[in-house]
């Protein structure tokens, strides 16, 4: 297998890479790596020991990359069709902005304030701090959702008239939110509709379908 992704798709960043690969119709292997206890030699692929890691084994070694943004940009450059980054310079920059906003601002709220508390702590046999979760849901996320609702407007996609890395990046974070909390469609109808449409795409839906039983086992333990 030429393309290998290291991690688990419960990570929104690993899922982001896997969705892009599937949207491009590229075959790949997903090798399970836990960020809590990665293999001893994993830092040769991902120096910070984070997921996702990636290798293109069609290339001579070293052939590894780390960080979802870097990996997705590599794949777009090597496999430009179908395009998931706009060709126009300004539109591409806008897509990269939404990718960054999703990865950092939206991702920080959902990952630290919900996923860490309710999933990672469960794996470590620790009690979730529901006060942190409630603050995330009631205080931290609303202005982020407000911004994304406003920027989407009546458009089906965040940039231009086609599905792009911007939509993948926002969508993968909404997937993790949906695993753990109900989305208020009445408060953010456009963003809610966007989430339903994007996560129903085969590239997302197949991954999420496999994640749900695994996550249920973790939460029920």
- Residue range 95-108, pLDDT digits in tens: 999 999 999 999 99
Give the pLDDT confidence score for residue 218 in this predicted structure.
Answer: 86
> How far apart, in whole angstroms, are the C-alpha atoms of residue 152 and residue 72?
22
Give the pLDDT confidence score for residue 1 in this predicted structure.
Answer: 67
Q: Which residue has the tokens 């777009």?
A: 76
Give the pLDDT confidence score for residue 154 in this predicted structure.
Answer: 96
| Residue closest to 111 by CA, chosen among 182, 47, 172 | 172
Give the pLDDT confidence score for residue 220 in this predicted structure.
Answer: 85
Beta carbons of 204 and 198 less than 8 angstroms apart: yes
**Backbone torsions φ then ψ of 65, nearest 5 degrees:** -140, 155
Give the pLDDT confidence score for residue 35 in this predicted structure.
Answer: 87
Q: Which residue has the tokens 């309710």?
A: 118
- The C-alpha angle 173, 177, 178, rounded to 5 degrees, equals 115
| Residue closest to 207 by CA, chosen among 51, 2, 1, 7 | 7
Measured in whole angstroms, how far is the alpha carbon of residue 96 from the centre of its chain? 14
Domains of the chain: 3-78 (3.40.30.10), 89-220 (1.20.1050.10)
Give the pLDDT confidence score for residue 104 in this predicted structure.
Answer: 97
- Global pTM? 0.96
> How far apart, in whole angstroms, are the C-alpha atoms of residue 2 and residue 100?
28
- The C-alpha angle 147, 149, 207, rounded to 5 degrees, equals 105
| Residue closest to 108 by CA, chosen among 206, 176, 202 | 176
Give the pLDDT confidence score for residue 52 in this predicted structure.
Answer: 98
What interhelical angle do 189-199 and 165-180 show, nearest 10? Answer: 100
Q: Where does residue 81 fall: left (phi above 0), alpha (psi -120 to 50 degrees), or beta otherwise?
A: beta
**Who's near 8: CB < 8 A, 6+ residues apart?**
14, 32, 33, 34, 51
> How far apart, in whole angstroms, are the C-alpha atoms of residue 207 and residue 2?
20
Low-confidence ranges of the chain (pLDDT < 70): 1
Give the pLDDT confidence score for residue 67 in this predicted structure.
Answer: 97
Q: DSSP secondary-structure letter at 49?
A: -
Question: Coil, strand, or helix at residue 32?
Answer: coil
């Amino acid at each position: 297998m030429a393309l290998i992704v290291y991690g688990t798709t419960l990570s929104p960043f690993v899922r982001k890479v896997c969705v892009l690969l599937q949207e491009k119709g590229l075959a790949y292997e997903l090798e399970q790596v836990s960020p809590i206890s990665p293999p001893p030699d994993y830092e040769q692929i991902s120096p910070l020991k984070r997921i996702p890691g990636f290798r293109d084994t069609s290339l001579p070694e070293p052939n590894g990359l780390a960080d979802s943004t870097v990996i997705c940009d590599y794949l777009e450059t090597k496999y430009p069709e179908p395009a998931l980054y706009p060709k126009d310079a300004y539109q591409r920059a806008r897509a990269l902005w939404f990718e960054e906003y999703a990865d950092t601002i939206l991702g920080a709220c959902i990952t630290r304030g919900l996923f860490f508390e309710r999933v990672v702590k469960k794996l470590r046999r620790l009690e979730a701090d529901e006060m942190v979760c409630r603050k995330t849901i009631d205080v931290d996320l609303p202005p982020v959702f407000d911004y994304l609702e406003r920027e989407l407007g009546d458009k089906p996609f965040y940039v231009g008239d086609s599905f792009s890395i911007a939509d993948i990046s926002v969508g993968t974070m909404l997937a993790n939110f949906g695993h753990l909390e109900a989305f208020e469609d009445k408060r953010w109808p456009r963003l809610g509709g966007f989430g339903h449409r994007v996560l129903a795409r085969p590239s997302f839906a197949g991954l999420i379908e496999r994640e749900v039983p695994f996550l249920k086992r973790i939460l029920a333990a």
